[in-house]
Amino acid sequence: MINKIVVVGAGQAGVQAAQTLRQKGYEGELVMLGNELQPPYQRPPLSKKFLSGDVEPDALFIRPEAFYETNNIDLKLNAHVDSIDLTKKNLTLASGAELNWDKLVLATGTRARALPLPGADLEGVISLRSIGDVQLIKKLFVPGKKLVVIGGGYIGLEVTAVAKGMGLDVVVLEAQERLLKRVVSPHVSSFFHELHAGKGAELYCGTGVTSIEGANGRVAAVKLADGSEISCDLVLSAVGAVPNAELAGAAGLDVDDGVLVDGAGQTSHEDVYACGDCVRFFSERYGRSIRLESVQNAIDQAKAVASALTDPDQDHSHDYDPLPWFWSDQHHIKLQIAGLSDGYDEAVLVGDTSSDSFYVAYLEKGKLIAVDSINHPRSHMMARRVIGQKWEEGLLPPA
Ligand SMILES: Cc1cc2nc3c(=O)[nH]c(=O)nc-3n(C[C@H](O)[C@H](O)[C@H](O)COP(=O)(O)OP(=O)(O)OC[C@H]3O[C@@H](n4cnc5c(N)ncnc54)[C@H](O)[C@@H]3O)c2cc1C
């Protein structure tokens, strides 16, 4: 009999875990602890429509405030969990308060990776992960200012698009030889390169940054590996995220670039589960361990955790092995990704990259493993249905 479940982290995964626990009939005490000040909110709009001013903060909230009361979820904000004691089955908040639990769900997400460069602490060097970050950035994004974006991944490029729309000069510096290299094929990388260049951003790939130079404590320039400098007013650090897994590690749970869980979301301790960005798990689908940073994963893994907790008589250890999917909005383009393409041996371009609507199917030994769709939602939805089976030629939708 479970009397008390505590969820640590009030983000996409934490809220979904709490909601599904109630939907599946869990009637015991349910506490959710989040260390931010705002009610749980969605992050994807932060680098898109919230930054551009097209949506208000209220539209970001995952559920209306009344949801927590109606579902008897004791949501505590500004409540940072400092430590967990697995033997006593309790935890300690930064305030010193202690809380016991029968089952614990860790949904602590990720944080922006720190820029490992001299000058990274100068005023004007920013990163984007929270509502507070965006509120600060909005004040700094003044037309005519020059922004250097370090990192040509999703967040760097989404911010580039919005910043150009707001009238800033933008320079993107990517250390790899092409944009989005970790996640898309060369076709898609060059499409986005041309998209941003066509909108007036300057983009340099294969370009390492050695330091950020300041004047009077404020950022003034970025120094490149070849010794040249780019003067600027602002620097966005967009070099990825790291899992908030230290809390779990310090408690004695198995951690390796994420909290390690099985297909039920169960950690190395039978009463502790974890879900969302902070988690790494072995995927039988991909034959390796993966850590995903996506809304799909946060929601679906949280549902798997809640199912396992409310149905303890079944073996759920192989339940969660998703087909990952993701999206990114840049200028007028929606990129949708179904599946993980790394390891592909053939990329089939369907359509014309100059048309703003095409897709790339990735095959490994003849089997479809992923599809990147550019303004082509039909291929995305179809890919999500058929991946895992052999992609028959007749199933390919026209470009
Ligand atoms: C700018 C941006 C744009 C994105 N765009 C997309 C997109 O287009 N599509 C997509 O699929 N995904 C996108 N993502 C990723 C997506 O938002 C995440 O995958 C999702 O939010 C993960 O949910 P989560 O609950 O695991 O983590 P989070 O949403 O990060 O929530 C974790 C919460 O736990 C809190 N916490 C951490 N440690 C503690 C502690 N010790 N005590 C108490 N609370 C704690 C954190 O402060 C945070 O509030 C984007 C992310 C960002 C930052």
Helix axes 154-165, 186-198, angle to 10 degrees: 20
- The rounded Å distance from CA 31 to ligand 1 centre is 19
Whether the CB of 107 sits within 6 Å of ligand 1: yes
User: What would the two tokens of residue 114 be?
Assistant: 């720190």
- What pLDDT, in 10s, does the model give residues 225-247? 999 999 999 999 999 999 999 99
Q: What is the topology classification, in CATH, of domain 4-111+242-310?
A: FAD/NAD(P)-binding domain (3.50.50)
Report whether CATH 3.20.20.100 matches the domain 332-386. Answer: no
Q: Residue 389: what pLDDT?
A: 60
**Cβ distance 73 to 241 under 8 Å?**
no
Of 83-92, 202-211, 228-237, 358-367, the one with minimum mean pLDDT is 358-367
Distance separating alpha carbons of residues 103 and 88, to the nearest angstrom:
12
- The rounded Å distance from CA 278 to ligand 1 centre is 9
Task: Spell out the CATH class of 125-237.
Answer: alpha beta
Q: Residue 41: what pLDDT?
A: 98
- What pLDDT, in 10s, does the model give residues 127-182? 999 999 999 999 999 999 999 999 999 999 999 999 999 999 999 999 999 999 98
**Cβ distance 109 to 244 under 8 Å?**
yes
Whether the CB of 160 sits within 6 Å of ligand 1: no
Whether the CB of 292 sits within 6 Å of ligand 1: no
Do 4-111+242-310 and 125-237 share a fold?
A: yes
- Write the CB contacts of 244 (distance below 8 Å, at least 6 apart in sequence): 9, 108, 109, 110, 111, 278
Closest CA to ligand 1's atom 18: 294
Whether the CB of 300 sits within 6 Å of ligand 1: no
Q: Residue 112: what pLDDT?
A: 97
Q: Residue 391: what pLDDT?
A: 41
Whether the CB of 235 sits within 6 Å of ligand 1: no
Give residue 168's identity as a one-letter amino acid code.
L
Confidence of residue 394 (pLDDT cuts 50, 70, 90): very low
Give the domain ranges of the chain.
Answer: 4-111+242-310, 125-237, 332-386
- What pLDDT, in 10s, does the model give residues 348-358? 999 998 989 99
Instruction: Dump the DSSP string for 107-140.
Output: ---EEEPPP-STTTTSBTEE--SSHHHHHHHHHH
